[in-house]
């Protein structure tokens, strides 16, 4: 019998629709709103400094999530809007699209939020987000030199 | 896209790269041994093992979530089942059973018939107060804390102390709601 360790990351990233080169930004947040990772590829317009930008993004997701839970027609029991939710309560959204960009969002139950901002033509990115989460586990969480809760360097 | 069904502990266990069981057991034994030498007090060793487990748990939870595809659990009962059937299976290759629920569903026992940590182990007379597997309770506590559940995990029965099984009591203290992390005036 054998135990432990190792990886089973799927061998290649999932194939996404659309041609490459359509990513704008990626964010990874933890539960406490710390931006663990920020990367940008194509962001011509910047109006805020980095910290404010991260905070705004986190706030957007946080509020949007509580709105989506509030609007949920299938669940009976819900608190007032803005009331903190217990884990396991409520629903969440996967993505939204404007005429200029698409934002895809994934949150793990441990509170890790992964956000990809891409061109509005991009298809479903949930598989890709999951793949990124697997990479995070493999190369960040399992790195003994990484202190949990600090930005990834 | 249909949601992906959670994978069973067996499926994950079969897919990951593993180390030899004896190497694992003996390495753990060596750690405990070294702690006993360094800290001298058995109580301190228990505490240290628990702390080590906690540190493992807060990282382990992400691996667990990423590989098992488990989504949010509805209640603590489901959580306990998932730990016993998927969690233990995935990381230790054994599964536990859940019993002894109290009336309000916040306290239960996880029973391990088979525990790979304790092969070849006998507790000498000088270490009777030692919870040899205390690292496990720390792991569960740490992992659950990362999914917003404050718990208290204690050993009830321990085969090394002459009981007939390993029993961990898991008590849910409180669920921490998710709050907006920034202050308004920042």
Mapping DSSP onto H, E and C, the string for A61-104 reads: HHHHHHHHHHHCCCCCCCCCCCCCECCCCCCCCCEEECCCCEEE
A9 domain residue, yes or no: no
From B62, B91, B182, residue closest to A4, measured CB to CB: B91
Please check whether residue A85 touches B, CB under 8 A. yes
- pLDDT tens-place string over residues B69-99: 877 777 888 888 888 888 888 888 888 889 8
- pLDDT tens-place string over residues A40-90: 888 888 778 888 899 999 989 888 888 888 887 877 665 666 556 665 566
Rounded to 5 degrees, φ, ψ at B78 are -65, -40
A4 domain residue, yes or no: no
A50 domain residue, yes or no: yes
* pLDDT reported for residue B143: 92
* pTM: predicted TM-score of the whole model, two decimal places: 0.82
Please check whether residue B146 touches A, CB under 8 A. yes
Half-sphere exposure of B151 (CA within 13 A, CB side): 29
A130 domain residue, yes or no: yes
A132 domain residue, yes or no: yes
Q: Containing domain of residue A66, as a range? A: 23-74+82-141
CATH superfamily to which B20-177 belongs: Trafficking protein particle complex subunit 3 (3.30.1380.20)
Pairwise CA distance, residues B141 & B150, whole Å? 7
CB A32 within 8 A of CB B181: yes
User: Smallest Cα–Cα separation from B166: which of B105, B119, B103?
Assistant: B119
Q: Residues 60 to 99 of B: which have CB under 8 A from any A CB?
A: 61-63, 65-67, 70-75, 91-93
ipTM: 0.80
Pairwise CA distance, residues A85 & B148, whole Å? 11
């Amino acid at each position: 019998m054998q135990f432990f360790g190792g990886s089973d990351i799927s061998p290649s990233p999932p194939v996404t629709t659309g041609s490459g080169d359509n990513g704008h930004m990626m964010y990874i947040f933890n539960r406490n709103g710390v931006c663990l990772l920020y990367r940008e590829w194509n962001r011509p317009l910047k109006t805020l400094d980095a910290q404010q930008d991260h905070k705004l993004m986190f706030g957007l997701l946080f509020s949007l999530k509580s709105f989506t839970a509030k609007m949920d027609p299938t669940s009976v029991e819900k608190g007032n809007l803005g009331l903190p939710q217990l884990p396991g309560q409520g629903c969440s959204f996967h993505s939204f699209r404007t005429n200029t960009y698409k934002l895809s969002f994934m949150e793990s139950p441990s509170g890790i939020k992964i956000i990809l901002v891409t061109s509005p033509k991009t298809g479903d990115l949930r598989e890709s987000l999951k793949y990124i989460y697997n990479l995070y586990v493999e190369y960040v969480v399992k790195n003994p030199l990484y202190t949990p809760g600090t930005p990834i360097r | 896209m249909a949601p992906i069904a959670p994978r069973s502990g067996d499926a994950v266990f079969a897919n990951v790269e593993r180390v030899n069981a004896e190497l694992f057991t003996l390495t753990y034994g060596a750690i405990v041994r070294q702690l006993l030498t360094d800290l001298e007090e058995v109580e301190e060793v228990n505490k240290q093992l628990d702390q080590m487990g906690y540190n493992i748990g807060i990282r382990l939870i992400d691996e667990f979530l990423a590989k098992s595809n488990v989504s949010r659990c509805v209640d603590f009962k489901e959580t306990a089942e998932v730990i016993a059937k998927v969690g233990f299976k995935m990381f230790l290759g054994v599964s536990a059973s859940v019993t002894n629920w109290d009336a309000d569903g916040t306290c239960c026992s996880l029973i391990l018939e088979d525990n790979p940590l304790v092969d070849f182990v006998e507790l000498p007379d000088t270490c009777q107060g030692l919870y040899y597997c205390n690292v496990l309770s720390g792991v569960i506590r740490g992992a659950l804390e990362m999914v917003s559940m404050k718990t208290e995990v204690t050993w009830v029965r321990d085969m090394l102390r002459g009981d007939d099984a390993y029993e961990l009591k898991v008590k849910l203290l409180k669920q921490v709601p998710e709050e907006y992390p920034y202050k308004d005036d920042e």
